[in-house]
Amino acid sequence: MRELYSNEAEHGVLGAVMQASLQGDAGLVEDMLGQMSSVDFYHLDNAALFEAMLECRDRSMPVDPVTLGVVQRTLPSGDMVIAYAAELARNVPSIANWKSYAKHVKEWGVIRRILDIADQARDMVQEGTHTAEVIAASQQAMADLRNLDGESKGFKRLDQWMGDAADLVDEKYRGVAPEWPATGLADLDDLVQGIRPKKVTVIAGLPGSGKTTLALQIAQHNAIRKKQPWLVFSIEMPGEELGLRAIASLGGVSLRKLDNPEDMGDADWANVVGAVAIANEAPLFVCDEPVQTPSSIRATARQCQREHGLAGIVVDYLTLVRSERAGRSRSEEVGKISKALLQLAKEMDIPVIELAQLNRDSTKRVGKKPQSSDLRDSGEIEADASCILMVHRDMDSEAGKNGVTEILMTKCRHARVGSCLLQQEGQYGRFSGFLGALPSDEEVEMGRGTYASKYKGRKDHE
């Protein structure tokens, strides 16, 4: 079977960029970098080297092996950047042929994407997805492919953008437009009105507020209910603990019993088996590597997209992501990481949900409700986010002690800011809709109105 890439073309593009920089032709370097994207490259090392080139350009540095080695020391393979870059710069056949190299790289990237679309459509059909949904998803994916005329334009007239927007409105009216990911919680979905692709949604809260629970539940809903591939970067929490939380959430088995299995009865064991069955083959992937950088997140996301498709990413949490280069302050480093995740969302046309912590200023405020300005480490987090959700649970109040949690949407570029109430069921590691009264222990044990039974009921009607 023929390989679906041209390693020689990828090397040619990267080598030509460095040769143009060594010749002092900054305009040509800008043209080359502007024509390409890291997602065009098949090999992770080549994609990472291209990202380092973009960093050099953004910092007004020459793009040569030495400066590339300064901004990033190693590649995903573990090889040293400076040695790899020097070899490519030395072996590029001709800088004059860079457009031909770039065209080959982009064409192979589109071919891989087309095959991915076909595979995803086949999987949707086999899963019993309605044919209209399969067609709409495939049409949207095909429409997202870049123009191959060589000189792709980064601009269009306003009336053309208006036409595209009108087409989207018409598709929504006819019910054939792709659905945006949802949270699975009715009141929160009414508030947020869809988790938008190409944008960053920030879920913030104080330690122990439930922000991780909420983010994982959103990913879980889309992967299990919608069969959409999601990828969670769990930098703080090991994968095994996420597995326990998923069993508790989907099966209605308390985390305390899972930690002390001698207290579990026959019904609990049955619920564990049921939870595993519900999640069987669901495309929810977890990376629990404790050391992550923007480049490693991008490389893992691209690998997941190639192998399984990708509909969304969760990063838990932002300030644990390490900077690839030292900044003048931690605030500057976090700001660059935030910008990199926003760029990733745009490049891959998916939503990125990033978790962030709050400083303690909100606890000193009357009412104790957090604001966007309470985000810790960098104001860039607020600036880059399309939507900010604050998880607020006042543990000094009776309602807070009983799990009532307010989700404050303090920023949203596509909907009015506001808030809603959710019921946090901490013993099961999940949220549910707030009904004004807590369910009794007997009701929870019987499984009525639980997160798992909601999935089971929907599945039975499909």
CA-nearest of 182, 247, 184, 180 to 432 is 184
Helical residues (DSSP H) of 152-293, grouped into ranges: 158-174, 186-192, 211-224, 239-251, 255-259, 266-278
| Encoded amino acid at 322, one letter | R
Torsion, CA 140, CA 146, CA 148, CA 150, rounded to 10: 160
Positive/negative CA dihedral, 413, 415, 418, 422: negative
Cα angle, residue 266 at apex, residues 264 and 269 outer, rounded to 5° = 70
Pairing of strands 418-425, 200-205: unpaired
Q: Which domains does the chain have, with CATH numbers?
A: 7-100 (1.10.860.10), 186-460 (3.40.50.300)
H-type alpha helices, 358-450: 380-384, 398-401, 441-446
- Residue 411 near residue 430, CB atoms below 8 Å: no
Nearest to 45 by CA among 78, 18, 86: 78
Contact 345, 192 (CB under 8 A): no
Return the amino acid letter for 100.
S
Distance separating alpha carbons of residues 280 and 419, to the nearest angstrom = 34
The answer to whether 126 and 45 have CB atoms below 8 angstroms apart is: no
User: For every one of its 462 residues, what pLDDT tens digit does the chain have, with 9 covering 90 and above?
Assistant: 567 788 889 999 999 999 998 888 887 888 788 778 888 888 889 988 998 898 888 788 889 999 999 888 899 888 899 999 999 998 888 888 888 888 888 888 888 888 888 888 888 888 887 777 677 667 656 655 544 444 445 566 677 777 877 887 887 778 776 678 888 888 999 998 888 888 999 999 888 888 999 999 999 999 988 888 999 998 888 888 888 888 888 888 888 888 888 888 889 899 899 888 888 888 889 988 888 888 788 888 888 888 888 999 999 888 888 876 666 677 888 888 888 888 888 888 899 999 998 887 777 777 678 888 888 776 788 888 899 999 998 887 888 888 889 999 999 888 888 999 999 888 888 898 887 654 455 544 554 444 444 444 333 333
